[in-house]
């Protein structure tokens, strides 16, 4: 019988490699970069050396050519030590690299994937705006055709990797914009590079509750001219590619929840074995046993769901949205609850940074909001389930 979590030898080797890298390189720096709210660019570049920045991209363009399960493995392992750094990785590897690998032309892939797969370039995706998040069709950014160019005007908000420092923006972005006017429902997708006139860093956001090791920024487009060859896909038809990429985004965000939950279970289990109260280890008391046992069971239920969905997900096709939404709906809240229980088991030690669970708890909350709110998932799933006669 195959291993659901490591279905092939290649997956097992990948997990062992990433876990070793995380223990040696990622875990030791996590607390520092959370406190300083900085993006660890040298560490990010090491992911490129390992072939992880283009984990699902085609080998001929610098990628590793692996599947959705591989992407889930990487996100679970990275997030177990540093969810903030992992979020920066997700925005680059899934929202930019995978998106372009699936939806771009060979010419576009050849121009932009080698640099983003190596880590030379940091990429991101611009969809949300100050007044438009879940309501994608409410976006105000417009791309007007002008000869062989498009002129983009608007503001994008909450952009992960929008800044790589307090003053420097990321290198390359996939930007969604309405084509023609704000009244249209037609959305197109464009490649926009740093350095184009009118494309600027509005502000890097500080003081976030969690995910502080990934940068979040506002990006401003003031009549930014991009050549027609930077248009990704068919004009006005980018909602299709957007929905296709949202599936892998949500599955990998759910995988991040797995990393948070797994680490929280490990921390509370170790602590409860070693900490004594009234002369006995605290894991002999029913209140503590409930926290540990329920957390492990919920984690394993979520983990099984995520890997089941990832195993069926084809990156270049539309997945079953009920389940790509479902894994994130379940796992995001599960991870927050498990981290909360870990804090409760550790008591005062859980409330300070020494044992990491307070950081994991802070980071977990974003997963109920980013990449689709839990309310949006509930709406999508209910609408999709209404079309089914039976659940197989």
What does each C-alpha distance from 377 to 324, 327, 332 come to in angstroms? 9, 10, 11
CA distances from 283 to 103, 155, 354 (A): 51, 52, 20
Q: For residue 156, is it left (φ>0), alpha (ψ between -120 and 50) or beta?
A: beta
Query: Is position 294 annotated as part of the catalytic site?
Result: no
CB 343 within 8 A of CB 95: no
**Chain centroid offset of residue 106 CA:** 25
The burial of 311, by beta-carbon neighbours within 10 Å (0-12 exposed, 13-18 middle, 19 or more buried), is given as middle
DSSP code of residue 95: I
Residues 6+ apart with CB under 8 A from 2: none
Identify the DSSP state of 225.
Answer: E
Which of 76, 77, 218, 249 is catalytic? The answer is: 249
Looking up tokens 């949202």, which residue turns up? 246
From residue 275, give the alpha-carbon distance in Å to each of 268, 269, 296, 344, 351.
10, 10, 19, 13, 16
Which residues are 146's β-sheet partners? 149
Q: Which residues are catalytic?
A: 249
């Amino acid at each position: 019988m195959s291993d659901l979590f490591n279905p092939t030898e290649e997956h097992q080797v990948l997990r062992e490699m990433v876990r070793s890298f995380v223990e040696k390189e990622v875990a030791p720096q996590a607390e520092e970069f959370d406190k300083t709210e900085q993006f660890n660019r040298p560490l990010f570049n090491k992911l490129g050396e390992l072939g992880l920045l283009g984990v699902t991209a085609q080998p001929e363009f610098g990628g590793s050519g692996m599947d959705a399960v591989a992407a889930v493995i990487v996100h679970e392992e990275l997030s177990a030590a540093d969810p903030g750094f992992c979020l920066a990785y997700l925005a680059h590897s899934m929202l930019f690299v995978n998106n372009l690998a699936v939806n771009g032309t060979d010419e576009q892939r050849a121009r932009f994937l080698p640099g983003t797969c190596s880590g030379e370039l940091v990429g991101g995706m611009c969809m949300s705006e100050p007044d438009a998040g879940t309501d994608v069709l409410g976006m105000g950014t417009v791309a007007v055709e002008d000869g062989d160019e498009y002129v983009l005007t608007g503001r994008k908000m909450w952009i992960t990797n929008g800044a790589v420092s307090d003053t420097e923006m990321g290198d390359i972005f996939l930007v969604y914009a309405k084509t023609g006017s704000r009244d249209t429902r037609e959305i197109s997708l464009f490649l926009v590079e740093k350095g184009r006139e009118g494309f600027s860093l509005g502000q890097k956001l500080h003081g976030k509750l969690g995910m502080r090791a990934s940068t979040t920024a506002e990006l401003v487009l003031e009549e930014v001219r991009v050549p027609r060859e930077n248009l990704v896909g068919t004009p006005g038809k980018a909602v299709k590619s957007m929905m296709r990429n949202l599936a892998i985004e949500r599955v990998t965000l759910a995988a991040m929840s797995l990393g948070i939950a797994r680490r929280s279970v490990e921390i509370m289990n170790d602590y409860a074995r070693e900490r004594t109260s009234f002369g006995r280890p605290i894991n002999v008391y029913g209140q503590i046993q409930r926290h540990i046992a329920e957390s492990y069971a919920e984690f394993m239920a979520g983990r099984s769901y995520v890997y089941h969905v990832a195993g069926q997900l084809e990156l270049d096709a539309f997945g079953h949205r009920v389940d790509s939404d479902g894994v994130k709906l379940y796992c995001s809240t599960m991870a927050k609850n498990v981290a909360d229980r870990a804090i409760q088991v550790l008591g005062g030690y859980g409330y300070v940074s020494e044992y990491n669970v307070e950081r994991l708890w802070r980071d977990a909350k974003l997963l109920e909001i980013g990449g689709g709110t839990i309310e949006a998932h509930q709406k999508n799933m209910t609408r999709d389930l209404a079309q089914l006669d039976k659940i197989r």
